[in-house]
Structure 1
Amino acid sequence: MDWTESGIETRAIHAGQEPDAQTGAVVVPIYATSTYAQDGVGGLRQGYEYSRTGNPTRTALEESLASLEVGKRAFAFGSGLAATDTFIRSACKQGDEVILPIDAYGGSYRLFTKVLAEWGLKVTPVPLSDLDAVRAAVTDKTRVIWCETPTNPMLSLADIPALAQIAHEAGALLAVDNTFATPYLQRPITLGADVVVHSMTKYLGGHSDTVAGAVIVNDDVLADKIAFHQNAIGAICGPFDAWLVLRGIKTLGVRMDRHAENAERIVEFLGTSAKVTKVHYPGLPDHPGHDIAAKQMKNFGGMVSFQVAGGPEEAKRIVAATKVFTLGESLGGVESLIEFPATMTHASVAGSPLEVPDDLIRLSVGIETADDLIADLREALG
């Protein structure tokens, strides 16, 4: 069945996940196989020969992702950074340039500046909210504008249609890391982006039990290049990890609604605390990107960052004092996490233009009872 016209909650459950033709199983099987019997030399059964090239469980996930992000083709990888690396090597060559957000995720910054730069890529960090600065940074060698919106951990917003126009006028691609928003809240391709990237470890998986990444594209030529590099480089998503992400995607809508509801309650509480000096959340009317978020996103998501009086030592005390919030570096799971970005998730950008404030705390708000989360933060803040 063609699920194109169905709502996203319906597509999350059904697209790419038809009942098994042989058994009627309503959940996609885990094809834990490396090798497929061929019907004679070159006679592939449904196109499968070796699981680095293709696996039915991974295919189901890729079809689901393409449907959710309204793209032509999707590719599942072993991690979000593997997805990013494979895409960039498919879209760029040595000597090309990439524009990066000034507050990009630390792991992405490390990949671009410590790995891809040595390969011959020039990387220019720019505040993407400043469209004039973006235009000034574009050259005839710019091949990709890399966008994260909202960003990690400052939750800055970027205007996807405006950036797409700048990129396309320069003959470049706009790639959007949609990990924080997910396709439930924001679909960048429908706003003009060419490529969407995910760390599926986060909200798409949703249960902190798998590591995986994805690239979704809207161009067949680029898709063929990525397919070639995915097979040649081999950083694929395994069948069990693909199955776990498919399991998570089925409940994406209800989870994201609850994440956002809880985040809004917590933001309201943080605004009353004398210990908190600033709250970063797109849902706040005075947040610099609030109007853009309201235009591009269904709701404002489950990520919250805030700064505290007392500097880094006080911030570290607070993150160690919570009991319901778990001190941990990831995000997007059903359980709430708290962390100190300066020396945890964003240690790789210390001393760089992307360095984060040393009094910043980041929350990944889970789906627990909101009153319990607020009570936990109230006690930790003191």
Structure 2
Amino acid sequence: MPDDSPLKPSTIAVTAGRPPHEPDRPLNEPLTMASTYVAGGDLEYGRYGNPTWAAFEAALGELEGGSCLAFASGLAAVSTVLDLVGQDATVVAPRHAYNGSIMQLADLEARGRLRARLVDVTDTDAVVAACADAALVWLESPTNPALEVADLETITRAAHDAGAYVVVDNTFATPLLQRPLDLDADLVVHSATKFLSGHADVLLGAVVTRDPELLGVLKNRRDLIGAIPGSLEAWLALRGLRTLHLRVERAQANAQELVRRLGEHPAVGEVRYPGFGAIVAIVLAQGAMAADLLTRKTSLWVHATSLGGVESTFERRRRWKTEAATIPEGLVRMSVGIEDVEDLWDDLRRALDGCVG
């Protein structure tokens, strides 16, 4: 293969962020536990950088096609980005989105910091119109938990024409299925807690950009407010990232087969699936009580609020008081794992059979 041939994403996931291939060097970046460094170099103090963070940032940055900064959590990354919005500026965001992001916007609006304009991202014309006086356009595609798909390219172009920055939360799709920076988004946000780390044992967030100025501003904000990742968390996330392509491939195949079968079950009134990824939403025909019953009747599927792990989890999203009122009461968000699909279906079918009116 020629030296200038680009590596495929699955290869990048395995090879990026590793130490040089030199005799007696470790294959993996070691876990560096340090709060203080000897003066005279680039690090100086533990809040400014860490070799373990840097390895994770190098790998995710290469996967997304930009430069990455790791944060203590996905919400720490969200908060740092929103902190860049000027006083009383307008932020356009999906009406259906990650609950933490919507709650942060609501909190900032209540305190008079900014104005939030929530939109239906499937109505591209309406979103484009909403961008007219915006400072920031925040997008998810697919959205959480409604699984709506936005026309990222068209909306990004309109936002830039209006002078707004564009941020895309790429947690659901991962850089293996979608690279928003290639569609001219300014920033990509991840909850690395989810698919990137993939084992339900890490809290970590990340922001990726191709803009050196934005990267520098975000780095300065991270240094100042201390929203830094732990060394162990970064090490675990990088370890999980090595198998991202395998996990996504298997989980997506499982999801697609389950979608086919779910659509034929009488307890299911609606199946929502964007055609890619491992997140599925179903709306139970008998509403909230049936959805709650479903989440209590399985033995393999785990009732839990997070997603993106190797294990299959699900929950009724409207059990959270802060979930959007436009999300159906009977909607169950399902994070499909990498178990055998026949076992997943058998467990799910038995529970669904008990939810038929």
TM-score tier by shorter-chain length is over 0.9
1:64 aligned residue: 59
Contact 2:108 2:114 in 1 (8 A): no
Deviation at 1:139, TM superposition (A): 3.5
Kindly report structure 1 stretches of 4+ aligned residues shifted beyond 6 Å. none
Distance in 2 separating the partners of 1:350 and 1:256: 28
1:97 aligned residue: 90
Q: Does 2:52 align with 1:78?
A: no
Q: Does 2:249 align with 1:257?
A: yes
2:147 aligned residue: 155
- Work out which of the residue numbers 115, 120, 133 in structure 1 matches 2:126: 133
Distance in 1 separating the partners of 2:79 and 2:239: 26
Distance in 1 separating the partners of 2:135 and 2:346: 48
Quick one: structure 1 residues 3 and 309, their matched pair in 2 at CA, closer, same or farther if it must change by over 3 Å?
farther
Distance in 1 separating the partners of 2:129 and 2:28: 50
Q: Does 2:330 align with 1:359?
A: yes
Deviation at 1:65, TM superposition (A): 1.4
1:238 aligned residue: 230
Q: Which amino acid in 1 is paired with 2:38?
A: A
What does 1:1-382 align with in structure 2 at a 5 Å threshold?
5-19=6-20, 23-38=24-39, 43-44=40-41, 47-71=42-66, 73-90=67-84, 92-115=85-108, 117-118=110-111, 120-140=113-133, 142-283=134-275, 300-344=276-320, 347-351=321-325, 355-382=326-353
Distance in 1 separating the partners of 2:334 and 2:124: 29
What SS does the aligned partner of 1:278 have? strand
Give CA deviations for 1:40-86 in whole Å, capped at 9, x if unaligned.
xxx11xx1111111001001111111101001x21100111100110
What SS does the aligned partner of 1:174 have? strand
Quick one: structure 1 residues 194 and 350, their matched pair in 2 at CA, closer, same or farther if it must change by over 3 Å?
closer
| Identical-residue share of aligned pairs (%) | 42
Distance in 2 separating the partners of 1:329 and 1:270: 21
Give CA deviations for 1:131-174 in whole Å, capped at 9, x if unaligned.
2211222243x111100001111110011111110111011111
Question: Which moved further from structure 2: 113-122 or 258-267?
Answer: 113-122
Give CA deviations for 1:197-247 in whole Å, capped at 9, x if unaligned.
000000000000101000001111111110110100111111100001100
Deviation at 1:350, TM superposition (A): 4.8
With normalisation by structure 1, the TM-score equals: 0.89
CA RMSD in angstroms comes to 1.6
Contact 1:19 1:28 in 2 (8 A): no
Deviation at 1:19, TM superposition (A): 4.4
Distance in 1 separating the partners of 2:310 and 2:110: 36
Distance in 1 separating the partners of 2:345 and 2:199: 22
Distance in 2 separating the partners of 1:258 and 1:236: 32
Distance in 1 separating the partners of 2:341 and 2:130: 43
Q: Which amino acid in 2 is paired with 1:65?
A: L
Contact 2:310 2:337 in 1 (8 A): yes
Gaps (5+ residues) in structure 1? 284-299
What SS does the aligned partner of 1:28 have? coil
Distance in 1 separating the partners of 2:269 and 2:121: 25
Contact 1:3 1:15 in 2 (8 A): no
Q: Which amino acid in 2 is paired with 1:10?
A: T
What SS does the aligned partner of 2:136 have? strand
Give CA deviations for 1:287-323 in whole Å, capped at 9, x if unaligned.
xxxxxxxxxxxxx010000011221111100111111
Quick one: structure 1 residues 333 and 278, their matched pair in 2 at CA, closer, same or farther if it must change by over 3 Å?
same
Distance in 2 separating the partners of 1:22 and 1:54: 26
What SS does the aligned partner of 1:155 have? coil
What SS does the aligned partner of 1:264 have? helix
What SS does the aligned partner of 2:200 have? coil
Gaps (5+ residues) in structure 2? none
What SS does the aligned partner of 1:110 have? helix
What SS does the aligned partner of 1:183 have? helix
Q: Which amino acid in 1 is paired with 2:229?
A: C
With normalisation by structure 2, the TM-score equals: 0.95
Quick one: structure 1 residues 138 and 37, their matched pair in 2 at CA, closer, same or farther if it must change by over 3 Å?
same
* Alignment size in residue pairs: 351
Quick one: structure 1 residues 343 and 20, their matched pair in 2 at CA, closer, same or farther if it must change by over 3 Å?
farther
Q: Which amino acid in 2 is paired with 1:318?
A: L
Deviation at 1:119, TM superposition (A): 5.2
